[in-house]
Amino acid sequence: MPTAELIVFLIITFLTVLLFVQAVSKKLKFIRLGAKENRSDHPGKRFANFCANVLGQRKLLQEPYGFIHFFIFWGFIFIALGEIPFILERVFPNITIPILGTSPYFYLIKEILASLVFIGLIVGLIRRWIIRPARLYLSFEAALVVILIYGVIITEWLTSGAKLALMGSHPAYSLDFIYNLVAGFFAGASAESLTTTISFLWWIHVFILYAFAVYIPNSKHLHILATPFNSYFASLKPVGGQIEPMNLEDENLKEYGVGRIENFTWKQLLDSFACGECGRCMDNCPANISGKPLNPKQLLSRTLKDHLLEKGAVMNKLGITSTGEENAEALKPYTTGYSETGQVLNKKLIGDIVSREEIWSCTTCMACQTLCPVSNEHVNKIIDMRRYEVMNENNYAHELQLAFRNVEAKYNPWGVSWSERASWAKDLDVQTMKEAGDQEVEYLYWVGCAGSFDDRAKKVSVAVAKILKAAGVNFAILGREEKCCGDFIRRAGNEYLFGLMVKDNINTLNNYKVKKIITACPHCLNTLKNDYPAFGGNYEVIHHTQFINDLIKSGKLTLNKNVEMPKQKIVYHDSCYLGRYQQEFEAPRALYRMVPGVELIEMDRNHNKSFCCGAGGGRMWLEENIGERINNMRVDQALAKEPQAIGANCPYCITMLEDGIKDRADAEHAVPVIDPAELIVKMI
């Protein structure tokens, strides 16, 4: 390369690197405003996650169009690798770059992928601009980036093709069908004109490439850079166990939950930058679909991010790292009186930025997180904001307060007398742990508040107890010693009351040396299994549908297949807390299939894409007065399959679906909701 050109090249390269680093470090400064959180443990596991989710594109491949992104991703990697010889060979003509500059197979793979990217982007554009799925934003940004990518790919093809034409042949390009194709076009051109063309195209290419490099970290496509990190730093805990405990004994802790953007952890902030705006979360969010103000994609990619960018810019300018009480004095000059800076600093995260309706609409169904390809963690943010409202501001719905009060006084949200907890088992001769005394008890049957007090759920409790007895299982219940497990309390943001319940329950359980727990409530299941370990309660917890399957498989329970059972189509509803949370989809289905006369059918939304009943995350105790009722929507989806019954495995789901049926179906179309245990019990 001539010296003059080299100087120009070095200058623009330097500028590009500078602008790129500047843009990235500016974003990093925003992320660093967040609170501390350790996400560097277990590097091995993290790397494995990174490989599966980023390199393997695991979640995207589970989607119908996901393979497109897979090829685009790997196409980019190979195109990027191809840039190395492309640039260096011109700058330093005398060096040979191993593999990238010599292997025909590298070029073959690169070109196959690059052509797929080429086609993939066209398909993508058609989807975005012509089919227009509601979840994708139409934006200038999206179009611009596609133009830049085409620019990069095409100029590279042309330059290298011309180069090949000039050289006549090149061993590394022998399998590169595109270079050869392009070289064909240039055949016959003079060496001189080819040299000029190559030089011209090369420079165009470099300019487009550099523009792309500077544009990425300054645009929403920053997600390309943030995602690999976000995947690496993703929570290693099961989705049901990601709520961080709070140390309420810490006297220095004066503000609970998150009421200021910078109180989110750096990882929570990074999520916003990693969001690729693909919309999978919103497409499966029951709150969003039923017309509530919550849209998980919007929340992360716009609401929180925009606020961080705005407030973070002011904070960084003033050199403050927190706008908490401790800095109130220092902030006074900015926040009193009118100033634009003050306006920004005075904005309340909850109320001004995120509405209260938004944070209370979430059912913690985990559809968003389960489907998000970039490992974003939506639900924790919502719970953190609820914590702020409940614990810090004492500002939350009256109905929820009533449920809290009931738990405090009666240890169950219904507020039924505590001493009635074991009444459902009165005539069943089920022993309590206390009655068992010194006798070895293998399994604790955790009944839960619903199973103990809700008339409908009690029937399932009875069925389960009868099955356990018939199989000769050595089990007991806690009876009056059982207290609300705290699932909804925690997810509704009241970590304090949750802590009280957990402490008492763990004391009781550990006192009886409980190791294995069976429960018919997926919410209790998740909390006992995933929330309790952080508080010193470690148990093996299993859902009754899983346990009954085991009993049948091991021959401890034999079913009488000759009983008269009605012929019926049962449409199955996956509960969020057994399905997405535990990834248990098969056990309940297997039980229905064992029942004579039952034909099991699926709704359109099933397994990981199942639609919530609307009761999780404390929603059970809250009025639902915005948009359509989620349970009614689910009932509509079920009734569309014209079943004779709906199958469910969770007391909340059963209640919600039955309510929905009352609302939606006339007497003729009303169908029962049945837990599999209620059918199995008829066969013993």
- Site of interaction with ligand SF4 (CB under 6 A): 275-281, 284-287, 294, 296-297, 300-301, 362-368, 371-374, 376, 378-379
Phi, psi (5° rounding) for residue 476? -150, 165
CB nearer another protein, residue 252 or residue 562: 252
Quick note: the x/- pattern for another protein over 408-427, rule CB under 8 A, is: -x-x-----xxx--------
- Helices and strands in the chain, H and E counts: 31, 8
| 361 within 8 A of 298, measured Cβ to Cβ | no
Strand order across the beta sheet in which 475-476 lies:
475-476, 443-446, 516-519, 540-543
477-536 positions binding another protein, by CB under 8 A: 480-481, 494, 496-497
Residue 410, classified by CB atoms within 10 Å of its CB into exposed (0-12), middle (13-18) or buried (19+), is: buried
Minimal distance, residue 271 CB to ligand SF4, in Å: 7
Minimal distance, residue 405 CB to another protein, in Å: 6
488 binds, among ligand SF4, another protein, none (CB under 5 to 8 A by kind): none
Minimal distance, residue 244 CB to ligand SF4, in Å: 17
Residues 6+ apart with CB under 8 A from 403: 413, 488, 618, 621
418 binds, among another protein, ligand SF4, none (CB under 5 to 8 A by kind): another protein
CB nearer ligand SF4, residue 373 or residue 499: 373
280 binds, among ligand SF4, another protein, none (CB under 5 to 8 A by kind): ligand SF4
Helix (H, G, I), strand (E, B) or coil at 645: strand
Q: Within 10 A of 176 (CB to CB), how many other CB atoms are there?
A: 24
Q: Are strands 475-476 and 443-446 parallel, antiparallel or unpaired?
A: parallel
- The stretch near another protein (CB under 8 A) out of 225-233, 403-411, 514-522, 629-637 is 403-411
Assign residue 339 a region: left if phi > 0, alpha if psi is -120 to 50, beta otherwise? beta
CB nearer ligand SF4, residue 375 or residue 545: 375
Rounded Cα gap, residues 31 and 46, in angstroms: 20
CB nearer ligand SF4, residue 69 or residue 163: 69
Quick note: the x/- pattern for another protein over 231-270, rule CB under 8 A, is: -----------------xx-x----x--------------
| 304 within 8 A of 275, measured Cβ to Cβ | no
Quick note: the x/- pattern for another protein over 378-397, rule CB under 8 A, is: ------------xxx-x---
Minimal distance, residue 286 CB to ligand SF4, in Å: 5
Minimal distance, residue 547 CB to another protein, in Å: 29
CB nearer another protein, residue 418 or residue 535: 418
CB nearer ligand SF4, residue 360 or residue 592: 360
Going from the C-alpha of 403 to that of each of 391, 455, 456, 504, the distances in angstroms are 15, 18, 19, 18
Minimal distance, residue 402 CB to another protein, in Å: 9
In DSSP notation, 433-483 reads HHHHTTS---EEEE-HHHHHH-HHHHHHHHHHHHHHHHTT--EEB-GGG--
CB nearer another protein, residue 535 or residue 585: 535
Residues 6+ apart with CB under 8 A from 219: 141, 144, 145
Minimal distance, residue 358 CB to another protein, in Å: 21
670 is a site residue for another protein (CB under 8 A): no
Minimal distance, residue 28 CB to ligand SF4, in Å: 20
Minimal distance, residue 234 CB to ligand SF4, in Å: 12
281 binds, among ligand SF4, another protein, none (CB under 5 to 8 A by kind): ligand SF4
Which residue type occupies 392? N
CB nearer another protein, residue 229 or residue 418: 418
Minimal distance, residue 496 CB to another protein, in Å: 5
376 binds, among another protein, ligand SF4, none (CB under 5 to 8 A by kind): ligand SF4
| 626 within 8 A of 291, measured Cβ to Cβ | yes
480 binds, among ligand SF4, another protein, none (CB under 5 to 8 A by kind): another protein
Residue ranges of alpha helices (H) inside 355-421 are: 356-361, 367-371, 378-387, 398-410
Minimal distance, residue 383 CB to ligand SF4, in Å: 10
| 493 within 8 A of 452, measured Cβ to Cβ | no
287 binds, among ligand SF4, another protein, none (CB under 5 to 8 A by kind): ligand SF4
Give me the residues paired with residue 571 across strands. 601, 646
303 binds, among ligand SF4, another protein, none (CB under 5 to 8 A by kind): none
# of chain residues touching another protein (CB under 8 A): 21
Q: Which of 387, 414, 459 is nearest to 620 (CA)?
A: 414
Strand order across the beta sheet in which 598-602 lies:
598-602, 568-572, 645-647, 673-674
Residue 329, classified by CB atoms within 10 Å of its CB into exposed (0-12), middle (13-18) or buried (19+), is: exposed
Which residues of this protein are in contact with another protein, per CB under 8 A? 248-249, 251, 256, 390-392, 394, 401, 404-405, 409, 411, 417-419, 480-481, 494, 496-497
